[in-house]
A and B are shown apart, each in its own frame.
Chain A
Amino acid sequence: EPEVTQTPSHQVTQMGQEVILRCVPISNHLYFYWYRQILGQKVEFLVSFYNNEISEKSEIFDDQFSVERPDGSNFTLKIRSTKLEDSAMYFCASKEDRANTEAFFGQGTRLTVV
């Protein structure tokens, strides 16, 4: 069964450092998403991406964040200068098309900022 894969599964970084979280969406999917889940809290929408540009973003997704699809398979989330409060589980998701009901989620990357 096709799946969304995320790497790494766990990343530890020092405050102020840049991190790039990587995702490989399902190959025929066109819409891509990043969500985050701070420990014990809700899963929060960060950004959606379609046709090589941001489709929608939440107020969490400030100038410190950026997304990119550098080639035909990867979808990345970059945090420019990490803060302690960026520590969370980050989930990537993809959908075949916008109207499709099911978003497939990856296993997540746990980011720990120290």
Chain B
Amino acid sequence: GEDVEQSLFLSVREGDSSVINCTYTDSSSTYLYWYKQEPGAGLQLLTYIFSNMDMKQDQRLTVLLNKKDKHLSLRIADTQTGDSAIYFCAENPGYSGGGADGLTFGKGTHLIIQP
């Protein structure tokens, strides 16, 4: 079945880079996502990567995808206090071939910023 795993906590110093890791199981996933959830708020899409790519950069965010190992990472450069949130990795197995229509999320990684 589909499963997405993430470590629960990551603590970094302000100004350092944060690297949040995720592993997934469904090799048919066409898109992989990173969502951010701030306290009391909904899920905000940060970035996504298509499965035929291995890297995507968007300002301070870099997504790396190792499809062979089914490993996804999110790097946040120059981490700020405003980056403090829960980061969810999610996969979409794709809409063809009878796969699930909805996203499968990990449990989320709490990013804690130390001054």
Since A35-B102, A101-B50 are in contact, a sample of 18 more A-B pairs with Cβ atoms closer than 8 Å, ordered by chain A residue number, is A33-B101, A33-B102, A42-B4, A42-B105, A42-B108, A43-B43, A43-B108, A44-B105, A45-B104, A56-B102, A91-B42, A93-B43, A102-B45, A103-B45, A104-B45, A105-B45, A107-B41, A107-B42
Which size bracket describes the interface of A in this complex?
Answer: 20 to 34
**B75 in the interface, Cβ–Cβ < 8 Å?**
no
| 5 A-B pairs with the lowest CB-CB distances in the bound complex, closest first | A45-B102, A56-B101, A43-B105, A105-B43, A107-B42
How big is the B interface, by class?
20 to 34
Chain B residue at minimum C-beta to C-beta distance from A102 = B45
**Set of chain B residues within 8 Å of A105, measured between Cβ atoms:** 35, 42-45
Q: Which of B31, B101, B106 has the most CB of A within 10 A?
A: B101
What are 29 inter-chain pairs, A to B, with CB distance below 8 A? A33-B102, A35-B102, A35-B103, A35-B105, A41-B107, A43-B88, A43-B90, A43-B103, A43-B108, A44-B105, A45-B100, A45-B102, A45-B103, A48-B102, A55-B101, A56-B102, A58-B100, A91-B42, A91-B43, A98-B95, A99-B95, A102-B45, A103-B45, A105-B42, A105-B43, A105-B45, A106-B42, A107-B41, A107-B42
Query: Which A residues contact B (CB, under 8 angstroms)?
Result: 4, 31, 33, 35, 41-48, 55-56, 58, 91, 93, 98-99, 101-108
Q: Once the chains bind, are A101 and B103 in contact (CB under 8 Å)?
A: no
Instruction: List chain A residues, Cβ under 8 A from B41.
Output: 107
Closest to A3 in B: B42
Q: How far is the CA of A35 from the CA of B102 in the complex (A)?
A: 9
Contacts of B106 in A (CB 8 A): 42
A98 and B31 contact, CB distance less than 8 A: no
A55 to B42, CA, bound (A): 23
Residues of B within 8 A of A31 (CB): 101
Q: Are A48 and B42 in contact (CB under 8 A)?
A: no
In chain B, what residue has the closest Cβ to A89?
B42
- Would you call B42 and A108 a contact (CB within 8 A)? yes
Looking across the interface, which residue of chain A has its beta carbon closest to that of B6?
A42
